[in-house]
Amino acid sequence: MVRLAEQSATIREVYPAEYTEVAVFITDLGGSTLLMFVLALCYWLTRRRESLLVVSYAVAGVSFILLLKTLLAMPRPPSEVHLVALSDDPYGFPSGHAFAAVIVYGGLLSAFERTRQWPAVAAVAILVTLISLSRIVLGFHYLGDTIVGALLGIGFVLAMNRLTRGDPQRGFIIGLVLAVPALILIGGTGDILLAFGGALGGIAGSRVLESLPALRSRLEGGVLAVIGCGFVFSMMLVESAVTALESTMVVTPALLGIYAVLIFGLIYAPAAVGRLEVGALSRSTTVSE
């Protein structure tokens, strides 16, 4: 009953199958790749400490939701209702996409102190709702999965707000603590290694956060975004190459290192770009963090 299977079937029946690509696009807004770029750009171009705090929430949230899904072991809807191919994650309750969307978009809302600005709250609520509905339409979740995932996301953000007290390093330490039992219970899957390596890289990167140079101009911000995105894309290519290897003894530690370097590099990127001696950057109007 909690999964609302009948209501989910109604939603799938109402949605026109010819618009499957639209549903795929919307569901990608709650996927790990796009959320990573959203957080990276927020960190590079806006308030670093607050953005990095939400990065730590996202890293910790990966282990939390995968642990919960594995312990509950509730399967997804049958494959015959899937509109597109699905990854090898067999469990559907609660929805990881709804959970992650709330953590990232809702977490940024909280960290940037916009929870009393109703247009911003409404925009996040609509986005999370659309992402959740797309998961049902594609046949990956039941309605109950997405509702519980979103509610858990809200609870997780509130709990992390209290536990971290605004310190990103605390968030990454919590992520590391959660990643250990997840690694033991689930094994060295890509997502668990991302959570473990990301927590290690985040702990190291948080130590240099206060020493990073302020953004000097909008032009420098553009350069930082381009170089930073290039770095992330290059790490994704390395990840794909390593994942293709057949030796688990090589792949597991390599991926752990890649994810640690990815998060540390994301954090340290402003220092690397700040060393660029470009006259236009130095002479441009200073932009506050």
Amino acid symbol at 263: I
Tell me the pLDDT tens digit for each residue of 29-86: 999 999 999 999 999 999 999 999 999 999 999 999 999 999 999 999 998 889 988 8
> Looking at the DSSP assignment, which residues form a beta bridge with residue 75?
91
Taking residues 109-123, report their average pLDDT. 95
Average pLDDT over the chain, rounded to an integer: 91
Helix (H) or strand (E) holding 1: none
pLDDT at 177: 97
DSSP secondary structure of 92-146? -SS-HHHHHHIIIIIHHHHHTT-TT-HHHHHHHHHHHHHHHHHHHHTTS--HHHH
pLDDT at 165: 94
Tokens for 85?
A: 């191919």
**Residue 275 confidence (pLDDT) above 80:** no
Tokens for 162?
A: 């209290």
The whole model's pTM is what? Answer: 0.91
**Residue 273 confidence (pLDDT) above 90:** no
Confidence label for 286 from pLDDT (cuts 50, 70 and 90): very low
Amino acid symbol at 149: G
**Residue 276 confidence (pLDDT) above 80:** no
pLDDT at 284: 47
Q: Which of 125-129, 141-145, 186-190 has the lowest mean pLDDT?
A: 186-190
> Looking at the DSSP assignment, which residues form a beta bridge with residue 91?
75
Is the model more confident about 156 or about 85?
156
Is the model more confident about 52 or about 1?
52
Phi, psi of 90 (to 5 degrees): -85, -10
User: What residue has token string 């536990």?
Assistant: 163
Taking residues 205-209, report their average pLDDT. 94
Q: Let me know: does 184 contact 215? Beta carbons within 8 Å.
A: no
pLDDT at 1: 55
Q: Which of 6-15, 97-106, 242-251, 276-285 has the lowest mean pLDDT?
A: 276-285
Tell me the pLDDT tens digit for each residue of 188-201: 888 999 999 999 99
| Opening angle at CA 177, ends 171 and 182, nearest 5 | 120
**Residue 277 confidence (pLDDT) above 80:** no
- Measuring CA to CA, which residue among 120, 51, 37 is closest to residue 289? 51
